[in-house]
Chain A
Amino acid sequence: MDNFRCAPSDGRDLVRHNPDEEPTGPALLALEDGTVLEGRACGAHGEAFGELVFNTALTGYQEVLTDPSYAGQAVVMTNPMIGNYGITRGDDESRRPFLQAFVVREMCRYPSNFESVESVPRFLRRHGIVGIEGVDTRQLTKLIRTKGALRCVVSTKETDGGKLIARVKKSPSMVGADWASRVTTDRHYEWEEGLLTGNPPLKMEFPAEPKVVVLDFGVKYSILRCLREMGCRVIVLPADATAERVLSLKPDGILLSNGPGDPEPVDYAVKTIGTLLKSKIPMFGICLGHQLLSLALGGKTFKLKFGHHGSNHPVKDLATGKVEITSQNHGFCVDLDSLPDEVITTHVNLNDGTSEGMAHTRLPVFSVQYHPEAAAGPRDSRYLFKRFGELMLKRINGRAPKGAATRGEI
């Protein structure tokens, strides 16, 4: 049963095929700036449009493939060797891939790993994701670096690059589109699983199991796993759930999840968050959740030239001066100066100085632009879940939590 609102054919035109056949044949990648690269098919056959972004993570292509935040995008992996360990059980970040197309330098057809259950080409074909390999992914990365994220098409059907360019130019932009509604769950559910083996401990001691409501704008399973691992009850609601619906569940904490695209069109969620802020329930925003929270607090967001997509971004925690290596995936960013005075910046990106985290001085509310759940990426920032847990713990203990930004208290 597929309960997703995003139909597989959204921006994609697929050819019927058997997933067990080896993907073969030529494929083309055309960009809105007129660049056309020739390669070979390494996924589903067909044609898919999207915004081309690069990801610099050396490991974790499976997490990238299944991260709903990539909805609407075609992803170029800068690591040229993709698929080496195949698809491993338990490492999907959502129920299926949401990205439009996958662009790699070399796709491995003979994976090797004791946890591997399937090859990536087979996975792509099974899920109808168009893939292209054998293109100069570094050239593409540099192109995106200089020109910004570009609209593109990957096709295994069309052999005329000129025609593809014309079609790309007509394809819709990510800006101004509500992508969260296309990837969120359409019904609420409870999440039961903790973290998989090979994760550091995250267990916390609570007098009673805290209840966390997660607003799903395209949530990654790892966020849910982290919360569950801490010892929380985890209830996931669709992106358009109302504040009343959230509050009716009497949550001890609210998590605003990550998700794809531009935050501004997700205005219904901004409104919901605005109402929830008044409840003074501890709130933790991640990525798109962070952006939506800033909008609800009266801030503004803007589109980055080519975004942050990778596992090696240094972020400084301004309270401790410590640097954490973070997992990032966002094309939009919060404008620091647009936020009210009662919101302080807690984290900054050392590469480009952009805002990476904020906390409210009066409310138990904080958020980060990056991914503390990691997956893919280093787990240096998992402490933020504990910080969220501490706020909930205070609430459970009957001490009204003060502002999340109060140092020493968090």
Chain B
Amino acid sequence: MPKRTDIKTILILGSGPIVIGQACEFDYSGTQGLKALRDDGYRLILVNSNPATIMTDPELSDRTYIEPLTPEVLENIIKIEKPDALLPTLGGQTALNLAVALSEQGILKRHNVELIGAPLETIQKAEDRQLFKSVMQDIKVGIPKSLVLTDISELNSAARELGFPIIVRPSFTLGGTGGGIAYNLDELRDRAHSALEASLVKKVLLEESVIGWKEYELEVMRDSNDNFVVICSIENLDPMGIHTGDSITVAPAQTLSDRQYQAMRDEAKMVVSAIGVETGGCNVQFAVDPATGRRVIIEINPRVSRSSALASKATGFPIAKFAAKLAVGYTLDEISNDITKKTPAAFEPSIDYVVTKIPRFAFEKFGREFPLDTAMKSVGEVMAMGRTFKESFQKALRGLETGRAGFEDLGAGAKKRVETLTPEKLLRNLALPYSDRLFYVREALRRGLAPREIADITGIDAWFLNQLKDIMESEADLSEGKLTAERLRAAKRMGFSDTQIGRAIGKTENSIRLLRKKLGVLPSYKRVDTCAGEFEATTPYFYSTYDDENESTPSNSKKKRKIVILGSGPNRIGQGIEFDYACVHAVLAMRELGFETVMINCNPETVSTDYDTADRLYFEPLTFEDVMGVLDLEQPEGVIIQFGGQTPLNLTKKLAKAGIKILGTSPKSTDIAEDRRRCGALLKKLGIPAPDYGIAKTLPEAKKIARRIGYPVMVRPSYVLGGRAMEVVYDDASLKEYGGRALAAATHHPELLIDRFLSDATELDVDALSDGKNVFIGGIMEHIEEAGIHSGDSACTLPARSLTPSQRERIILYTGKLAKSLGVVGMMNMQFAIKDNVVYLLEANPRASRTVPFISKATGIPLAKLAAKAIAGVSLTQLLPKKLLERGYPEIPFTATKEVVLPFLKFPGIDPMLGPEMKSTGEVMGIAKDFPSSFVKAHSASGVSIPTSGTVFISIRDEDKSAILPIAAQLRQLGFSLVATRSTKAFLGRHAIEADRVYKLNEGKPDVLDLIKQRSLSLVINTPSGKRAKTDGFAIRRTTLELGIPIVTNVNSCQALVQGIATVRGRKSLEPYALQDLYRELDFTLPKKVVLK
């Protein structure tokens, strides 16, 4: 069937903020979907609350709404835009859940909107565990034994029937939130309880354990004519019991015979047909008992997913793009295979390489490790391709940027710790999976444990273990005898990096690199073509290996200038989708200017690794060796490193030393900005105020500096990434405690950086761009939280609310001075703090920052694109209207507020408190005509409801007491009742604010926790006081969080929230705005086409 013509306007839902379990893969799929449907001439309405996405670029849709993803907001948008259809299958679980809500509330029917991609019944059959189970039983597909629990009292009988261990899964959540494994009745009670809380429908599934079984996934597609294809099979190295998102996975499946695989395929086909996946992509998960081959189906997702993004990148088959096409009526045989052009999409890709995905964790941000289980905890992933498993596995490990250059021990300290483990402890570490289990496996293999034995303990298939053993044996062989070309090539074919080979034989990475070049052992590049070479393909999508034939022939056209853009690698906290957004914009800008663009990146979730984005894509780890391999071949005129965050920045020095031209701001300037001493001297020279600081090598020195500056001080080890391991220290004792730890941990540069901490200052984030002559500020954002909270975790607002004209002028002045003296070409991010009307510069980084997409969306000025063009040599006078450039910053007649989302719920037992260490995974934007409305929008988009009535519990530290008074008074005025502990109640009472008393913990019953648990509170205000707040405060914050009750932990957010409540109270909803409309209100328009002179 050709495309439907009865549909004209399609509403597409994004997946909202990046959270654990739902990351930028949905920007990739949404962007693909939008492009595909736009090509077909549909009118597209996009709603997504996440500004840091390519899909929310206003060029991609007819109407782009950055609005909260709630049924109320969507109904308003539906009323305005009158779409004919809603496509929810590209926006992850969020979009799917919304589609269900919109259907069930009758909104779609009321406004005549057809659900396309997945009908309601299909979503329900796939999501409701009980329905799913009965469908599977009907078609006789094996499933684990299971029971549905709706009440905690049914636990005992359930446990008897299933036997331990038992898997606990809530219905309707994402990333397995609230689920877990229970080995005994106590654990079962705990897990079931939190699962019931997490489930949107208050149902929990208890399941027979298939822990330790082999885990597989099939990524499949089906069209309206019942055509069915498997795009990719994926085998998990980690067994069942560890969430797929947290597992190392490999494509294609490696250890299934054809009969076993085809049986799985047949079953998947039956299942998607029974569930009713009419059109689009779907993923089907299986568990297989390694001893008997008994196979059960675990779940299906009737939508594109993290795995389908991986499968698309792994095979070159664009699942999301085709899913969108199928949703509007095409069949698979009507769509042509993008890559071969000549053959249809109705086929099953065959690949002639191995793909390995390894998750990236961020436990260091939370101060402790968590065992891996069925609730996803990783924040990013890296993918690598190689001709063999060994090669792709080792490439993936070094792409992970965790300090390992392959399958090797991490540093001498960790190695020693592992080597001295008692056999019992080693076995325990093998049996209980943490994110570093592989390295215990390595140790077990080193000690001579047989792969079979390790397989029995870990559930990792012996096939993988034998592969790892091969790697270790080859590593040991390396150190014996001369490294000939033949031996080097053999090692490279197993994926050994130059660093690894160097370490094995006591040489440097560079000497191995030189030796390789001398011997002619160079990487060859193979094309990703969906068909294992059977058909000719021209898609410039490559990976490196060490086979004979190199397929990548660079154009080296004299007419077209060529540049390479380095991506940002795996997502992590502090370096996520925002940087991919900037990289993609840089690529687009350079293409607009007529450059040939080459992208290098290893993150499969991203738009930058879509083979459509850059002219040429190399899916490679972002290490010096791998990047140089591409550069040696491509010979670009230069490399752009300033958009990919810390990852490419870390390579700068080595690349420059190797003679590579770094385009834009010179590496020297970057160095100055990062070096506190030199930067301090420069600021002094320029007359830019900065907080007093000092650098200490020893604790006594640190104490002296701290006393000179005056407490509180901000302390951090020098040379750490993006504010890692910072702490605000209030006295000598805590300085000693923290400083000692930090000094001990820093092995390379045992230095402490001590800054004056500007308490109660207003913090500002500024992103500016420069062409070397002119400087333009993209936006000055004011943090809502006070200083001391990582800027990445702060809500912020644009335009800055409390900035005086004179302060703004000083910021413009300082920015201009600094950019010019550093010779910034491209982007620069600065943090300022204002205290007592002094504007201090806290930090400057001459590169794109996390806030670039937010500002770009808020102002309509695509900063990263302009910066890239400036780097290419276009003057800002060409890029910006004269008046705007003269003013130096854009003025917008509305307000945009950024709010963050935090992953605390995924980490049991962690205090949900903000601090100098960044913890948020994503962001949302609220845009409105006034600040309170934009704040409310942002807040509600971040998933927190705005209370408009009820009871508020207030517990605050002494320092905040005076600040809370107007807030408390306003809350009373708004009709809230207040409760507080004795002293706070008394304090409020003295200021004529009425509050009820509640007991502290252990003071009597019912205490405050009881109130929270009874859900009698609609808001909790708890501002923790330094270290003392650990006990009571922790229990209050954690419980509040787990029950989904709104909580604020600092006075400034509290103020903003109360203002917001006052604004929305009594109003049914806030008006949604399309970016295209808002931009029309701006007093400037950017030149449409810019040419490079």
Chain A interface residues toward B at CB < 8 A: 37, 54, 56-60, 62-63, 78-81, 84-85, 88, 91, 105-106, 108, 110-115, 135-139, 141-142, 145, 196, 198-200, 310-314, 316, 321-323, 325, 350-351, 374-380
Contacts and interface: CB of A to CB of B under 8 A. Distances in A.
28 contacts: A54-B533, A56-B531, A56-B534, A58-B261, A58-B351, A59-B253, A60-B257, A62-B257, A81-B254, A84-B254, A85-B256, A88-B259, A91-B258, A112-B462, A113-B255, A114-B291, A136-B547, A137-B352, A138-B547, A139-B547, A141-B532, A145-B536, A196-B259, A199-B263, A323-B225, A325-B347, A374-B262, A376-B262
Interface residues on B, range: 35 or more
Contacts of A198: 259-260, 262-263, 293
Given A114-B293, A314-B344, A314-B346, A78 B532 contact: yes
B227 A80 contact: no
Contacts of B381: none
Contacts of B290: 114
Nearest to A349: B343
B466 A91 contact: no
B223 to A, nearest CB: 9
Given A350-B347, A351-B344, 18 more contacts: A56-B350, A59-B256, A59-B262, A79-B351, A80-B387, A85-B260, A105-B387, A112-B462, A136-B549, A137-B352, A139-B547, A312-B350, A313-B347, A325-B347, A350-B344, A350-B346, A351-B535, A379-B266
B463 interface: yes
A62 B342 CA distance: 31
A110 B349 contact: no
Interface in B286-339: 290-293, 331-333
B74 interface: no
B23 interface: no
A50 B344 CA distance: 32
A115 to B, nearest CB: 6
A379 B255 contact: no
B265 A378 contact: yes
Given A58-B351, A199-B263, A322 B463 contact: no
B388 interface: yes
B-side interface mostly: loop
B229 A325 contact: yes
A81 B227 contact: no
B389 interface: yes
Contacts of B526: 138
A378 B347 contact: no
Contact of B388 (A60, A81, A138, A314): A81
Contacts of B342: 351
Contacts of B257: 59-60, 62, 85, 88, 91, 113, 115
A37 B254 contact: no
Given A114-B293, A198-B260, A350-B344, A310 B352 contact: no
Contacts of B455: 112
Interface of B: 225-229, 233, 252-263, 265-266, 290-293, 331-333, 342-344, 346-354, 387-389, 451, 455, 461-463, 466, 526, 531-536, 547-549
A312 B533 contact: no
A85 B255 contact: yes
Contacts of A115: 257, 260, 293
Contacts, number: 179
Nearest to B232: A58
A57 B293 contact: no
Given A80-B387, A113-B255, A377-B262, A351 B533 contact: no
B266 A310 contact: no
A323 B547 contact: no
6 tightest CB-CB pairs across the interface, nearest first? A60-B258, A112-B463, A198-B263, A78-B532, A141-B533, A139-B549
Contact of A112 (B233, B253, B255): B255
Nearest to A195: B259
B1025 to A, nearest CB: 57
B463 A84 contact: yes
A141 B548 CA distance: 13
Nearest to B388: A106
A111 B463 contact: yes
A78 B533 contact: yes
Contacts of A58: 233, 252-253, 261, 350-351
A22 to B, nearest CB: 14
B263 to A, nearest CB: 4
B463 A145 contact: no
A107 to B, nearest CB: 11
A393 to B, nearest CB: 25
B333 A323 contact: yes
A310 B342 CA distance: 18
Contacts of B536: 145
A58 B315 CA distance: 13
Contacts of B233: 58
Given A79-B350, A138-B533, A84 B387 contact: no
Given A112-B255, A136-B548, A351-B347, A379 B262 contact: yes
A79 B389 CA distance: 12
Contact of A378 (B344, B348, B388, B389): B348
A139 B548 CA distance: 8
A310 B343 CA distance: 15
A132 to B, nearest CB: 14
Nearest to B269: A380
Contacts of B252: 58, 79
A322 B227 contact: yes
B474 to A, nearest CB: 13
A58 B264 CA distance: 14
A196 B259 CA distance: 9
A374 B333 CA distance: 21
Given A91-B259, A198-B259, A312 B349 contact: yes
Nearest to B250: A81
Contacts of A88: 257, 259
A109 B347 CA distance: 31
A136 B546 CA distance: 9
Contact of B461 (A56, A112, A313): A112
B28 to A, nearest CB: 25
Contact of B532 (A56, A200, A321, A351): A56
A88 B292 CA distance: 13
A145 B535 contact: yes
Contact of A84 (B255, B266, B351): B255
A138 B344 CA distance: 22
A323 B227 contact: yes
B259 A199 contact: yes
B225 A79 contact: no
A216 B455 CA distance: 44
Contacts of A135: 548
Contacts of A313: 347
B553 to A, nearest CB: 13
Contacts of A380: 228
Nearest to B536: A145
Nearest to B333: A323
Nearest to B344: A350
A64 to B, nearest CB: 9
A285 B831 CA distance: 76
A167 to B, nearest CB: 22
Contacts of A314: 333, 343-344, 346-347
Q: Which of B226, B252, B547 has the most chain A CB atoms closer than 10 A to its own CB?
A: B547
Nearest to B466: A110
A196 to B, nearest CB: 6
Q: Which of A84, A91, A135, A375 has the most chain B CB atoms closer than 10 A to its own CB?
A: A84
Nearest to B494: A106
Contacts of A142: 533, 549
Contacts of A112: 255, 455, 461-463, 466
B621 to A, nearest CB: 20
A88 B348 CA distance: 24
A323 B332 contact: yes
A215 B702 CA distance: 91
Contacts of B255: 84-85, 112-113
